[in-house]
Homo-oligomer: A and B are copies of this chain.
Amino acid sequence: MKISKHTDTTLEDAAQAFAALGSEQRLGVLRVLVRAGPVGLSIGELGKATGITGATLTHHVKFLTHAGLVDQVKKGRSIICAAVAYDTVDRLSQFLLSECCADAEADSHGHHRKNNV
């Protein structure tokens, strides 16, 4: 049963998302947000938790938001950020692993698991 169709994650999108995770600073930011859960944190609180300053933090959060890993909602004069990484990471794993061994029909044993993350 083939599931994914044209709504598929493109290589470009997936690479962009992985790249967003591929920085210690951003990964730290995202982990703080994951810990915070759906309630989220403002940019300011995020700054205190991570030690990253204004323009730099904006830059990194934008990167994460573009990659679909973080959601931002305006609330008063703050902006609340929340991780939406849960499903996205599943999707990315899927993108990378779902076609595991598709080209290796010949051998009879010793494969890795198929269509299973």
Contacts and interface: CB of A to CB of B under 8 A. Distances in A.
Interface of A: 11-12, 14-24, 26-28, 30-31, 34-39, 85-86, 89-90, 93, 96-97, 99-104, 106-107, 110-113, 117
A37 B112 contact: yes
A89 to B, nearest CB: 5
A106 B93 CA distance: 31
Given A18-B19, A36-B101, 10 more contacts: A11-B24, A31-B99, A34-B96, A36-B103, A37-B102, A37-B104, A38-B110, A85-B97, A86-B112, A89-B117
Nearest to A113: B86
Nearest to A34: B100
A80 to B, nearest CB: 13
A12 B34 contact: no
Nearest to A112: B86
A2 to B, nearest CB: 13
26 contacts: A11-B24, A12-B24, A14-B21, A16-B22, A18-B19, A18-B27, A19-B21, A21-B21, A21-B96, A27-B96, A34-B97, A34-B99, A36-B104, A37-B101, A37-B102, A37-B103, A37-B111, A37-B112, A38-B101, A38-B110, A39-B104, A39-B106, A39-B107, A86-B100, A86-B112, A90-B117
